[in-house]
Every structure is written in structure tokens, then in C-alpha cells.
Amino acid sequence: MKKRYIEKNMTTPTPKCIPKATQERIARLAEQARQARAEPLTPARETEIKQRIKAELIRQDAVLVAHYYVDGPLQDLAEETGGFVADSLEMARFGRTHPAKTLIVAGVRFMGETAKILSPEKRVLVLDQEAECSLDLGCPAEEFTALCDAHPDRTVVVYANTSAAVKARADWTVTSAIGRDIVAHLASKGEKVLWAPDRYLGGYIQRVTGADMLLWPGSCIVHEEFKAEALQSLLREHPDAAVLVHPESRPEVIALADVVGSTTQMILAARNLSASTFIVATEQGIFHKMKQAAPEKTFLPLPTGGLGGTCMSCATCHWMKLNDLGKLSRVLETGANEIFVDEEIRRKAVVSIQRMLDFAGRRTDKAACPG
């Protein structure tokens, strides 16, 4: 069993902060999303809506691509209807190569935009235009561009959780599944990196690659709630548990992980590691697929509040939870929530995404997730 410790001098890097007004806006929008979440459907209504959706998907030559954080019924429906459930990298790849005329993206807005950037000839619909991401909101294109302009000697690498305009200013767009490898590749060529927007993911990549990185100070409001003290407490109760951590988490939490990876990589680890119990630090929607992938194993959410094994304020991305079957049905009936990206921005943004996809294509470890 590996030694669990918190490195001396390991503190949360905060070179500068997201402006207070932006932080308040993020908190306000997250709260609005929490309040807007729909009530669960009755089983009869769910069956009826699913039948309608299935018929419309066929009639409109549409396919559903869902992220692991959306509710279980949407994930299941995506797979039942020939669609896909995945992390951000695999969602992008699937949407680009699938022959359907319409892509329906169940996730947050940047995922819909990425699909449109890669497949401009397809109609791309999202279930709710208010499905934001705190990383995207915390990195406005104008301020970001000014920082890039001030550092012309740095290669600009942005996380996929950004707007199309930010991606358009970047040299590379990366996801959590591949960001570490891409930055290691750049560092091996002696390139210095300007990274945005997640300071925790950026800090993690900086620590493991040794790259020279300037970090934008953004964060995921879900993952930054996880605390090392709560994890250590849970580990005292379950000393043999393996710890799976998404790299948007704080460095003190990452330091205690057995596996740090994207949502797909976490699910694969849950299936492949020999441990029978796992402590999981990411959004709670992932448990749906984790339990399918390894039904005989026990998964414990890392509590975001309190210190016991009981989840008190279970990690929830309220924007992801805006996706539901009722909205999917309405979007299919009305064609609402189509994603459009300005063509000039799209042509620039696609270059930075395509670099990542080409890099991923050259790797041998294709990360398809088990059902």
C-alpha cells in the first residue's frame, strides 16, 4: 500500500484570483441551476417519454452523446439508442466521427460548442442553454486574450472547459484525459506553457511534468470542495480502499490518490484495480457507470462537507443536472437550443482541438469505457 501523506509546503497555488464579481456571478448561476432541477419522472411517464424520444431520434437521424455526470436514465438512453456516454475527449471524438445529421449533447455548453466546432455540417442541440461550467465562466475571452498577448513566448494550452473564443486563441485544447501527456510533450521540446483555466489541473500537470507553466486562476466549484482532511478521515475507516481523484481537485487531495485521471480513466481504474472498495473524488453522476462497470465493488463518495463516511453535501454539478429526459423530448420536438459558433472563431478553435485529437490518435491506449 502506498504511503499516504501530504507533502510539506504543499499549498493551494493562488497566483491571483478570479475577480469577486465573477465569483459571485458563478455562485448565483450555480444556485439558479440547483433550483431549476426538475423533479424525477414517475416510471410510467419516463417510459412514455423514452418511447417518444427513441422514435424522434430515428426520424431525425439524431444521436445522443452524454457525459458521465448527467443522470443515469439519460446515460442509459444514450447507450440504448446507439449513442455514447463518455468523458470530454471521447465525446468530442464520437461526435465528430458519427454519421448522424444531428448531435444531441447532454452535458454542459462547452461540450455542445466543441461538437459544433468539430462538426459544422451537423445540427448540434443541447438540452439546456443555461448549463454552464465555472471554469468556462471564470475565463472570459477578452481577459484571457490580454494575458496571452502579454506572454507571446508561451505556448497557449487551454482545457476543453472553455468557450469557443478562448479555444480560438489557444495553440492546443486539451482534456483531463490527455492534458498531462500533451504538456509533457511540449516541455520535452523546451516550450513554456500558458495554461487556462483550471489552476488545480494545471498545477497537477506542472508537478508531474516539471513544465514551466503560467496558470490562470480558475477552478471547478464542484471539485474544489473536496478536502484532504475528509479523505484522510475516510481512509482511516477504510484503510484498504483505493482512492480515485479527478485532477480538478486540490493538490492536497490529489496527493492522497492512487489514481488521478479523467472520468473515463477513473471508471477504468475502478474496474481494473484489485481493490474491492474505492473512495471517489468527483461529481456523483459517475457512480452510475462505475457500478455498472464493477457491480461487485463498493464505491464511497468523498464527502464535501463533514468528516465522516456519510456524504453530507454530495458533490453535484447543478449545471449537469439541468439535463433531463423531459428537456430532451422537448428539444427533439421543437429543435430548440441549437448551438451556433461564429465561423471565424470556429475555424481558429478547430485547429487547437484538432491538434489534441491528432495527438490522441497517435497514442495506442484508446480509452473506451466498459458498459
The minimum distance between CB 232 and ligand SF4, in angstroms, equals 23
Q: Is the dihedral of CA 142, 147, 153, 159 positive or negative?
A: negative
Binding track over 108-147 against ligand SF4, x by CB under 6 A? x------------------------xxx------------
Range in contact with ligand 13P (rule: CB under 6 A) among 30-38, 48-56, 170-178, 268-276:
170-178
Amino acid letter, residue 275: A
Amino acid letter, residue 206: Q
Residue whose grid cell is 492536497: 252
**DSSP tag of 198:** B
Main-chain dihedrals φ then ψ at residue 285, nearest 5 degrees? -60, -20
Per partner kind, with CB cut-offs from 5 to 8 A, the member of ligand SF4, ligand 13P, none near residue 87 is ligand 13P
Using rule CB under 6 A, residue 102 touches ligand 13P: no
Using rule CB under 6 A, residue 105 touches ligand SF4: no
Per the rule left: phi > 0, alpha: psi between -120 and 50, beta: everything else, 337 is: left
Range in contact with ligand 13P (rule: CB under 6 A) among 26-34, 38-46, 146-154, 172-180:
172-180
| Distance set, CA 86 to CA 130, 183, 333 (Å) | 21, 22, 25
Q: Which of 175, 206, 219, 337 binds ligand 13P (CB under 6 A)?
A: 175
Binding track over 221-250 against ligand 13P, x by CB under 6 A? ---------------------------x--
Range in contact with ligand 13P (rule: CB under 6 A) among 30-38, 174-182, 188-196, 296-304:
174-182
Q: Which of 87, 128, 132, 225 binds ligand 13P (CB under 6 A)?
A: 87
C-alpha cell at 337: 437550443
Q: Which of 75, 114, 173, 176 binds ligand 13P (CB under 6 A)?
A: 176
The Cβ of residue 101 has, within 10 Å, a number of other Cβ atoms equal to 13
Q: Which of 18, 77, 148, 222 binds ligand SF4 (CB under 6 A)?
A: 222
- Whole-angstrom distance, CA of residue 160 vs CA of residue 176: 8
Residues in the chain: 371
